[in-house]
């Protein structure tokens, strides 16, 4: 019959095509069978796991990634529940591959045949501290900075007051100097204020917040000022539950992100979107189930993208790629998102830059 020829073609070609499609993907993809043995690795996975397909296929995944890696538990859970799972900010460590931070998606294969795993390397602000001494060092530097800021501000206000007193009887020429003293002390106080903001580790006050109301407020503020010639597009998930958050800080987070988007894309389009992702969790090594971060808010612009040289340090204070940039906006975003126990990350290419914020959900009936 005439159908037999097309049928054989259809049967052989997709197999080939599927493999080359998987090889073309930049993300590592690994399929394991029910016994936890690797059955397939795409090209990116071979690079990630530092081995060729012949060396990897047939080996147990636990031989390559240590048994206490959260990945194994995730595969088990996906197979047991028959559902796809994803987890953010998982630290994967192995002698051959070093320590990498990834988002993991695991989908069970039908009929208990195993599972397929996709890994996405992440540039997140909450690089879960790999070494506790590093964390302690950061903490004592922060404490020192806080004390310094506090102590320097007192004498500064004295200096400023004295300059103001001198100003009264000063000549025109001298007044220029006293003004200079005032302006410069104000600048130092401003700098110290922003330093104190990062060193403040007190827990924030949280209650259920409607993130759409926050985004609309931010949009109005932006459109009336720095984003007056931009087009705003919104794509809200109407069923989005409330955030367990602090409204003032959430406003500041999205105002900073929208300001960056506006500055990156003059006259461009800024897209604000929300989505509910119940599978998203933050995996803290050794801390059981991890924090649920199901609320996703994205701010997207069609500007030229984040400069390559800044990508690794984008959320650090004083990192800026524009002439008048202070480099504080994203550091504040990272701090405030961190205060919520959330995650912020970005993906950027020319004409499409997306900052994603993952936040916890308020418990029903308030938190």
Ligand X SMILES: Nc1ncnc2c1ncn2[C@@H]1O[C@H](COP(=O)(O)OP(=O)(O)OP(=O)(O)O)[C@@H](O)[C@H]1O
Measured in Å, how far apart are the chain's first and last C-alpha atoms? 68
260 near Mg ion, judged by CB under 5 A: yes
What's the closest the beta carbon of residue 73 comes to ligand X, in angstroms?
35
In the complex, minimum distance from the CB of residue 262 to ligand X, in angstroms, rounded to a whole number: 9
With binding defined as CB under 5 A, does residue 317 bind Mg ion? no
As a whole number of angstroms, the distance between CA 296 and CA 277 comes to 7
Contact residues toward ligand X (CB under 6 A) are 256, 260-261, 264, 301, 303, 305-307, 310, 314, 319-322, 325-331, 353
CB of 294 vs ligand X, minimal distance in Å: 24
- Is 252 a binder of Mg ion (CB under 5 A)? no
Nearest approach in angstroms of CB 310 to ligand X is: 6
Shortest distance, position 339 Cβ to ligand X, whole Å:
17
CB 187, min distance to ligand X, A = 14
Q: Which is nearer to ligand X, 241 or 325 (CB)?
A: 325
Among 329, 331, 339, 346, binds Mg ion (CB under 5 A): 329
Nearer to Mg ion, 32 or 261 (CB): 261
Beta pairing partners, 32: 38, 115
Q: 232 or 355: whose CB is closer to Mg ion?
A: 355
Q: 126: Cβ–Cβ under 8 A, 6 or more apart, which residues?
A: 89, 282, 338, 343
Name the residue nearer to ligand X (CB basis): 56 or 265.
Answer: 265
In the bound complex, what is the minimum distance in angstroms from residue 267's beta carbon to Mg ion?
Answer: 18
The residue with its CB nearest to Mg ion is 329
CA distance 225 to 12: 59
CA 31/CA 18 separation, integer angstroms: 14
With tokens 């000549």, the residue in question is: 171
264 binding partner (options ligand X, Mg ion, none; Cβ < 5 to 8 Å by kind): ligand X
The residue nearest ligand X at its CB is 325
Q: Output 114 or 317, the one with its CB closest to ligand X.
A: 317
Which of ligand X, Mg ion, none does 338 bind, CB closer than 5 to 8 A by kind?
none
**Which residue in 35, 46, 102 sits closest to 75, CA to CA?**
35
Distance CA 291, CA 280 (A): 9
Stretch that binds Mg ion, among 72-80, 134-142, 211-219, 259-267 (CB under 5 A): 259-267
- Kindly list the residues in this chain that would bind Mg ion in the complex (CB under 5 A): 260, 329
């Amino acid at each position: 019959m005439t159908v037999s020829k097309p049928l054989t073609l259809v049967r052989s070609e997709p197999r080939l095509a599927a493999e080359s499609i998987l090889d073309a993907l930049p993300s590592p993809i690994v399929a394991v069978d029910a016994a936890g043995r690797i059955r397939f690795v795409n090209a990116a996975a071979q690079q990630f796991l530092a081995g060729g397909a012949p060396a990897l296929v047939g080996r147990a995944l636990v031989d390559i990634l240590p048994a206490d890696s959260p990945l194994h538990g995730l595969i088990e859970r996906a197979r047991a529940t028959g559902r796809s799972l994803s987890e953010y900010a998982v630290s994967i460590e192995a002698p051959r591959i070093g320590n990498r931070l990834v988002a993991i998606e695991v989908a069970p294969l039908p009929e208990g045949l195993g599972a397929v795993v996709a890994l996405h390397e992440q540039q997140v602000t909450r690089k879960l501290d790999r070494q506790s001494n590093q964390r302690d060092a950061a903490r004592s530097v922060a404490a020192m900075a806080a004390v310094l800021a506090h102590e320097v501000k007192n004498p500064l206000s004295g200096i400023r007051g004295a300059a103001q007193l001198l100003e009264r009887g000063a000549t025109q020429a001298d007044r220029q100097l006293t003004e200079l003293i005032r302006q410069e002390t104000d600048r130092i106080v401003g700098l110290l204020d922003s330093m104190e903001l990062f060193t403040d580790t007190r827990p924030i006050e949280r209650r259920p917040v409607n993130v759409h109301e926050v985004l609309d407020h931010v949009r109005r503020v932006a459109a009336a000022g720095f984003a007056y010639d931009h087009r705003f597009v919104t794509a809200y998930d109407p069923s989005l539950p409330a955030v367990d958050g602090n409204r003032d800080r959430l406003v500041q987070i999205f105002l900073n992100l929208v300001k960056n988007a506006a500055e990156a894309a003059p006259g461009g389009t800024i897209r604000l979107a929300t989505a509910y992702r119940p599978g998203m969790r933050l995996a803290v090594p050794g801390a059981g189930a991890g924090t649920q971060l199901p609320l996703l808010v994205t701010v997207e612009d069609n500007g030229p993208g984040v400069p390559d040289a800044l990508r690794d340090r984008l959320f650090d204070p004083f990192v800026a790629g524009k002439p008048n940039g202070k480099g504080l906006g994203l550091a504040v975003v990272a701090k405030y998102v961190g205060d919520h126990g959330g995650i912020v990350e970005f993906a950027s290419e020319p004409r499409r830059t997306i900052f994603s914020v993952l936040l916890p959900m308020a418990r029903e009936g308030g938190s």
